[in-house]
Amino acid sequence: MTLSRKDFQALLIVICFGFWIENLVQGADDYYVYSPVCQMPAVNPFTWDTMSNFHRKTLRHCHNDSDMVTSEFDFETHQYRLHVHEHLAKPIMNRKGNATLECEYQEISRDNSDQKPDNAYNQLRRRPIEQHQFVPNNTDYMITSCYVRDVTKHRELLQQDAISFIEDRLPKEKVKDFVKDESEVHKPSVLIMGLDSTSRINLRRAMPSVYKFVRQPGWFEMQGYNKVGDNTFPNLLAALTGDSEKGVGDYCDVTKPGCLDSLNFIWKRFKKANYTTAFAEDCSSISTFNYLKPGFVKQPTDYYLRPLLFAIEKQFKVTNDFGFAYCVGRHLSFSYVWDFGQQFIDRFLGRSPMFGFLWSNSFTHDYYEGATALDNLLWKYLKSFEESNLFQKSIVILMSDHGHRYNTLRRASTGYFEERMPMMFIYLPPWFRRKYPHLASNLGKNQNRLSSNYDVYMTLQHLLQLDSKSVDEFPDNLRARQCKSCQSLFFELPFNRTCQMAGIEEKWCCCQPTETITNSPHVSTIAEAIVQRMNEHLISHNLSDLCHNFTLDYVEKADRKTILSNGLRPADKNEQVYIIVFETVPKNPIFEATVRWNSRTQRLLHFDVEELSRLTSYKNDANCINRKNAKKYCICKDSLSRPS
């Protein structure tokens, strides 16, 4: 058969197009995101420099005795009952002769009269526990104590514990209306579950059981999810309020009581839509909205665990592991939060639309290997939530704020991506996928598009107006205040999306490929200029009396970014973006700076010392100051006489 010229040209175009598609697909396999303006390389979690020093940890239990006082929800009266398990004390009572068991409780409540109610609580007088007694409907938390009293009236404490209650205070008519409407109009419940400092990469490495769970049908992994800030606060702020840490400063001072209350936390809108809301976070000393901040003046959600955790961390024996409170009394700090979540699900699923936010720091905040000890326990909670039918009715998000930021994992070859790419999994229940197939399809497409915390905020907004056809239908007051171009993940994200469009600053952006140039002669000049700027910053912020000046020791690594065709190329061809990892003295902290450098003028451009990353811990270096960002770059003079 002889081909005409036109046929030959058409065949050639088809062949060339086939090669282009094949190369694109092959390229996409090696990348989380692959577009002309964003190329995030896929990271192997099991590289030698991460696995050579990687050890699985064992879950350590906090007690080996049984609970003497337990609570049970009575579904007929919609109240809790307390049960005293006297048989557990029989052996001790028999040894002491005619001894008796006495159990008491003290109610704990939030002290709303305090200037900083998040850091205060009320503790009422002791009351005896009667067997099978009802818990008053206005009781949220209690501390229980059981004693053995001998014939001399001497009391020996046998066990002390803490119990939280998710009391059912819903009016019967409200429940009846919800059940009636539920058969016609599904109002999706939402549960957000978070682990601090857990990258999508480390989840695969450290938590295979949990990872297998979120690989089931209905789960969508946002593989192009890129953090927007350094630590927990700015990243959760963006996801829950649509604000940035800098942006909030235009409205109020987050270190002053009342500021956080004034922000557009997404649970406020869910509450206005008649949702029942809950918030729980462990490790009260480093809680997201309380570490070096006053927390909330008004209780943020209907059910709020902080008063109990704050009280028992003050009163019970606290055992640290993985850097922070591990056991608080007889239970894991982690378990208080997730048992609270289980109660919330059991109490309201099918009775009211729910919005819940559960956050845990205890295992993963400081030690990336801590996740290995948590794997099976978190899997058990997920299975328990599944047995409670959470996944039949609700949209569930499993997320993190960022990856590991310090030491071993951060300094591995993949550490740059580990830190900047937190896990983000979104689950859509079967009814939602059937009713809104176009939204589920868009979420599927967006798995390999660049996305950010601001998009998550817009997604949560979208769940309260599911009939919206485009982001244009969202009024301005519902947009992410610091990223007006961000949008719900249920709308298809642009294929050629840049970090700027997603509200991600250049320092955190994982889109641009890099070239390592550590041995280039001008690298030390750039590093010296960075260190000089750091010292100038100490002086300008009145920190030079407290903090020691820096001297450059050596440059560990230097990368130069390749600016892709995104229209953001600098006007001056001599301007380049560099990522410099360097060590200074004293005390040998290691920093990472993302800077713009003009090789013609030999000057740094737009470098903010507050945005430095510190790759080694500052725990023993910065106790002389309470400014969170400044702790990264302050070596306290009074720390020099102490070992690191």
Residue range 581-608: mean pLDDT, rounded: 93
Backbone angles phi, psi at 325, to 5 degrees: -55, 120
If asked whether residues 633 and 554 sit together in one domain, one would say yes
Which pair of structure tokens corresponds to residue 451? Answer: 């996305």
If asked whether residues 551 and 633 sit together in one domain, one would say yes
If asked whether residues 587 and 621 sit together in one domain, one would say yes
If asked whether residues 83 and 17 sit together in one domain, one would say no
pTM for the whole structure? 0.92
Q: Give a yes or no: residue 351 inside a domain.
A: no
Tell me 56's DSSP state. P
Query: Is the pLDDT at 566 greater than 80, yes or no?
Result: no
Domain count, the chain: 3
If asked whether residues 39 and 152 sit together in one domain, one would say no
Q: Kindly report, residue by residue over 60-116, the tens digit of the pLDDT.
A: 999 999 999 999 999 888 899 999 999 999 988 888 888 999 999 999 999 999 999
Q: Give a yes or no: residue 12 inside a domain.
A: yes
Q: Which position has the higher pLDDT, 173 or 379? A: 379
Which pair of structure tokens corresponds to residue 219? Answer: 């789960």
Bridge partners, 107 (sequence order): 142
Q: Give a yes or no: residue 393 inside a domain.
A: no
The whole-number pLDDT of residue 13 equals: 40
Single residue among 102, 133, 164 that ends a domain in this structure: 164
Do the Cβ atoms of 220 and 455 come closer than 8 Å? no
Instruction: Assign 573 a pLDDT band (cuts: 50, 70, 90).
Output: confident
Query: Is the pLDDT at 7 greater than 60, yes or no?
Result: no
Q: Give a yes or no: residue 117 inside a domain.
A: yes
If asked whether residues 557 and 607 sit together in one domain, one would say yes
Single residue among 129, 147, 164 that ends a domain in this structure: 164
Instruction: Assign 23 a pLDDT band (cuts: 50, 70, 90).
Output: very low
Q: Which amino acid is at 417?
A: F
Do the Cβ atoms of 243 and 264 come closer than 8 Å? yes
Q: Kindly report, residue by residue over 373-425, the tens digit of the pLDDT.
A: 999 999 999 999 999 999 999 999 999 999 999 888 888 888 999 999 999 99
> How many Cα atoms sit within 13 Å of 30 on the Cβ side?
7
Compute the distance between CA of residue 496 and CA of residue 485 in angstroms, rounded to an integer. 13
Residue range 331-349: mean pLDDT, rounded: 97
If asked whether residues 536 and 562 sit together in one domain, one would say yes
SS3 613: strand
Single residue among 143, 164, 185 that ends a domain in this structure: 164
Cis before 353 (ω within 30): no
Compute the distance between CA of residue 626 and CA of residue 306 in angstroms, rounded to an integer. 22
Tell me 21's DSSP state. H
Instruction: Assign 183 a pLDDT band (cuts: 50, 70, 90).
Output: low
If asked whether residues 519 and 635 sit together in one domain, one would say yes
The whole-number pLDDT of residue 15 equals: 42
Domain that holds residue 77: 69-164
- Tokens 């939402």 -> residue: 190
Q: Kindly report, residue by residue over 441-470, the tens digit of the pLDDT.
A: 999 999 999 999 999 999 999 999 999 999
Compute the distance between CA of residue 321 and CA of residue 570 in angstroms, rounded to an integer. 48
Angle at 11 between CA 5 and CA 13, to 5 degrees: 105
The whole-number pLDDT of residue 22 equals: 42
**Among the residues of 350-490, which ranges form H helices?**
370-387, 390-393, 407-410, 415-420, 430-435, 437-446, 453-462
Distance of CA 490 to the CA centre of its chain: 21
Query: Is the pLDDT at 8 greater than 50, yes or no?
Result: no
If asked whether residues 583 and 532 sit together in one domain, one would say yes
If asked whether residues 519 and 581 sit together in one domain, one would say yes
What integer best gives the mean pLDDT of the chain?
A: 92
Q: Give a yes or no: residue 528 inside a domain.
A: yes
The whole-number pLDDT of residue 5 equals: 53
Q: Give a yes or no: residue 294 inside a domain.
A: no
Instruction: Assign 184 a pLDDT band (cuts: 50, 70, 90).
Output: low
Residue range 479-484: mean pLDDT, rounded: 95
If asked whether residues 11 and 125 sit together in one domain, one would say no
The whole-number pLDDT of residue 642 equals: 60
- Compute the 3-state secondary structure of the chain and give helix, strand, coil in percent, each to the nearest 5: 35, 25, 45
Q: Give a yes or no: residue 90 inside a domain.
A: yes
Q: What percent of the chain has pLDDT over 70?
A: 93
Q: Give a yes or no: residue 223 inside a domain.
A: no
If asked whether residues 116 and 39 sit together in one domain, one would say no
Distance of CA 426 to the CA centre of its chain: 14
SS3 535: helix
The whole-number pLDDT of residue 564 equals: 76
The whole-number pLDDT of residue 203 equals: 97
The whole-number pLDDT of residue 433 equals: 97
The whole-number pLDDT of residue 1 equals: 46
Cis before 45 (ω within 30): no
SS3 523: helix
User: Among positive and negative, which fits the CA dihedral 223, 229, 232, 233?
Assistant: negative
